[in-house]
Amino acid sequence: MTKKEKKVFLLTAVLCLLFAVPQKAQAMHIMEGYIPPKDCILWFVLCIPFIVMGFISLKKITSRNKKALIILSMAGAFTFVLSSLKIPSVTGSSSHPTGVGFGAIIFGPWVMSIIGAIVLVFQALLLAHGGITTLGANTFSMAVAGPFVSYGVYKICRKLKAGKFISAALAAGLGDLFTYCVTSFQLSVAYPSPNGGIIMSMIKFLAIFALTQIPLAVIEGIITALALSAVEKISDLDFDNKGILNREA
Amino acid sequence: MIDFVNSAHSVKSINPNIKAGFALSVITACVIFKEPLGCVFAMFVMWLIIIKNVVKNDGLSNHLIRHFMLFPILFIALSSFMVSFDITDCGEGIFSVKILDGYFLTVNSEGVKKAVRLFFTSAASLSSMCFLSLTTPVNDIVYVLKTIKCPKEITELFILIYRFIFIVLNMAQSIITAQNCRMAQRTFKTRINSMALMLSSVFVLSYNKSVFIYNAMLSRCYSGDISFLNVKYDSSKKYVLFAVLIVFIIVLISVLERVY
């Protein structure tokens, strides 16, 4: 390759990669048929304990109070709508929140795993985002890893006497980032680099995701914190102890 | 919109178990074999069924085709292209460009082959998914969930979430329209602020709405069980035979492609 050809190729590659940088809701989801069968099974199996625990938690809540099922259904619809809304992005493009932090702080991570899985089925069926074979992988990243990190970060921050705003912002932001890290890991396991293996492949996917996802995670963190404090102001709900479900129980 | 399209075609009356089984079998065959010709055949069959039975010459169908096929296919093409790239410490391959000291961004023939296979597999799987979405209303999916003995709590949660999505979406859209009328999208700061306010309002309104709905259900003797009407579906053997035949042809084409 001549020097000029190299420059043209590099420019084209960068443009293509930027164009391929997922800036829409599909970005969080691994598309239908995108990962090999063994990976589909692996991520489905890894989700099972969380889904079972989520189901036990759901059964416990709904047996205590029938109203909780209606509230959780509304929470599921809210999560679906939240993940299909455009949020302001510094890159100028429209991007979508994951909504996992918001849900996990309010309802807890176990229930969110079930709600998240159902929401992902709807996203696959109604929006063509994600898929059925990749449901396990998507559930693991968006309905298990993200909510657990968000919930854990929120609890740790609150124990360290951090304010609710800072705790919620950190929880939502880090939960969002962790979701993308897990998605990158899933993609790198499915498509390891022939030379550098999983690690090199993960660096490639992380680098591509990082371009838009770091600013997005910051924005989602701020929006979640603002929204939670506004909810507290206009209602008498307290999120420190899964307020809504405990209050209704 | 999908519900509207779903309620106006002949495939609607076919047993949802047959449709779901067919779509999932085609997806499984495509994902397992990953052979481009088999995937192209699967795509052809799925879109033939959709175009012949579902798509009508109106704006709604065209919008659905764009939403379900063109945009996701474009995304799949770009994502598949991304897989063909590799970071190596030796600059060998079809293209190779130095990006860091000692590291190269390369594209080799293996990567391109992998990307092409991935594109066709993903596109065929997506077509099967579209077939399921455009021919099976969500109420029929509940029938499938009941057939596979999905726990009652999850089935109820599934149908309730579906019902509430439209209520919540309507609230969010009304608030966004009201905010836009008041120039809420003027600067980046106002955009962030209005988004947060909209989310909090939608959340509180949805919570209140769920309490009202619960009270309304209680007044109609809700005791924790939600009963659904059983619809009679057409379960003719010809549909099962058609599904088995198509899956068999996909597998046959894929096996032959792999052998030769």
State mean pLDDT over B241-251. Answer: 95
Record: contact B217-A85, CB cut-off 8 A? no
Record: contact B78-A58, CB cut-off 8 A? no
Question: According to the model, what pLDDT value does residue A86 have?
Answer: 64
**Which residues make Cβ contacts (< 8 Å) with residue A197, sequence separation at least 6?**
none
Q: Edge-to-edge strand order for the sheet containing B85-88?
A: B85-88, B103-107, B95-100
Report ipTM (2 d.p.): 0.84
Question: According to the model, what pLDDT value does residue A49 have?
Answer: 94
| pLDDT greater than 50 at residue A249 | no
Q: Which domains does chain A have, with CATH numbers?
A: 31-244 (1.10.1760.20)
Cβ contacts of B141 on chain A, cutoff 8 Å: 125
Question: According to the model, what pLDDT value does residue B6 have?
Answer: 63
Tokens of A6: 């190299």
* Separation in Å, CA of A15 to nearest CA in chain B: 11
- Asked if B197 contacts A230 with a C-beta cutoff of 8 angstroms, the reply is yes
Question: According to the model, what pLDDT value does residue B163 have?
Answer: 85
Helix-, strand-, coil-residue percentages of chain B, each rounded to 5: 75, 5, 20
Cβ contacts of B81 on chain A, cutoff 8 Å: 16, 20
Cβ contacts of B108 on chain A, cutoff 8 Å: 194
- Considering chain B, what percentage of its residues have pLDDT values greater than 70? 90
Query: Model-level pTM greater than 0.90?
Result: no
Scanning every residue of chain A, which has its alpha carbon at the shortest distance from the alpha carbon of B86? A193
Cβ contacts of A226 on chain B, cutoff 8 Å: 192-193, 196-197, 200
Question: According to the model, what pLDDT value does residue A92 have?
Answer: 44
Q: Tell me, what amino acid is at B174?
A: S
Record: contact A59-B153, CB cut-off 8 A? yes
Least confident piece of the model among A221-230, A236-245, B229-238, B240-249 = A236-245
Scanning every residue of chain B, which has its alpha carbon at the shortest distance from the alpha carbon of A11? B97
- Give the domain ranges of chain B: 1-149+233-260, 151-228
- Asked if B199 contacts B193 with a C-beta cutoff of 8 angstroms, the reply is no
**DSSP letter at A31?**
P
Give the number of other CB atoms < 10 A from CB of residue A1: 12
Across the A:B interface, residue pairs with CB atoms under 8 Å apart total 240
Task: Say yes or no: A85 contacts chain B, CB-CB below 8 A.
Answer: yes
* Separation in Å, CA of B235 to nearest CA in chain A: 23
**DSSP letter at B123?**
H
Q: How far apart are CA A107 and CA A113, in angstroms?
A: 10
Nearest to B203 among A131, A195, A231 (CB): A231
* Separation in Å, CA of A114 to nearest CA in chain B: 8
Backbone angles phi, psi at A67, to 5 degrees: -65, -30
CA angle B80, B82, B88 (to 5 degrees): 130
| pLDDT greater than 50 at residue A56 | yes
Mean of pLDDT over chain B = 84
With the CA atoms of B160, B163, B169 and B171 taken in that order, what torsion angle do they form, in degrees rounded to the nearest 10?
-90
Scanning every residue of chain B, which has its alpha carbon at the shortest distance from the alpha carbon of A92? B188
* pLDDT category of residue A26 using cuts at 50, 70 and 90: very low
**Which residues make Cβ contacts (< 8 Å) with residue B251, sequence separation at least 6?**
B29, B33, B38
- Asked if A239 contacts A171 with a C-beta cutoff of 8 angstroms, the reply is no
Question: According to the model, what pLDDT value does residue B9 have?
Answer: 67
